[in-house]
Amino acid sequence: MSLRTPLCLDESITSARLARQALEIGSCRVINVKVGRAHNVALASLPGFTLPGDISASSRYFRRDVIVPEILVRPDGTGDVPQSAGLGFEIDLDYIAGRTETTETMEPQPR
């Protein structure tokens, strides 16, 4: 009996060279890239990506995310890809400021 389930590598892939090598020698058929949810949304929208990795709604981990728009995932596992510049998300600085209790400014040390 042979294994038909595609093997997935993630933490062991630490460079583009290792990813290429793993694919070339048949060590896996899937590589899970863990670079952050906003980055994963962008990556999953590119041609050739058939298995999006680690994309979950903001509400799965946070009562209120620090990015806008928040990441929403429909019950069928799909979601919208932001169309604005960059990754399509902004840091909600007003929200962060409203939750900040103290701030500290550090001056550079003379050389």
Residue 68's contacts (CB-CB under 8 Å, 6 or more residues apart) are 89, 90, 92
Token digits for 103?
Answer: 């701030």
Note whether 67 and 60 are within 8 A (CB).
Answer: no
Give tens-digit pLDDT for 15-54.
889 999 999 998 888 887 766 888 888 888 889 887 766 6
Domain boundaries, the chain: 33-99
Supply the pLDDT for residue 40.
84
Supply the pLDDT for residue 106.
86
Kindly report the number of other CB atoms within 10 A of residue 69's CB atom.
14
Give the residue carrying structure tokens 């979950």. 56
pTM here is 0.59
Note whether 10 and 40 are within 8 A (CB).
Answer: no
Q: Which stretches does DSSP call E strand in 5-111? A: 8-9, 30-31, 67-68, 90-91
Residue 81 has pLDDT above 70, yes or no: yes
Token digits for 95?
Answer: 């929200």
Residue 8 has pLDDT above 90, yes or no: no
Supply the pLDDT for residue 51.
72
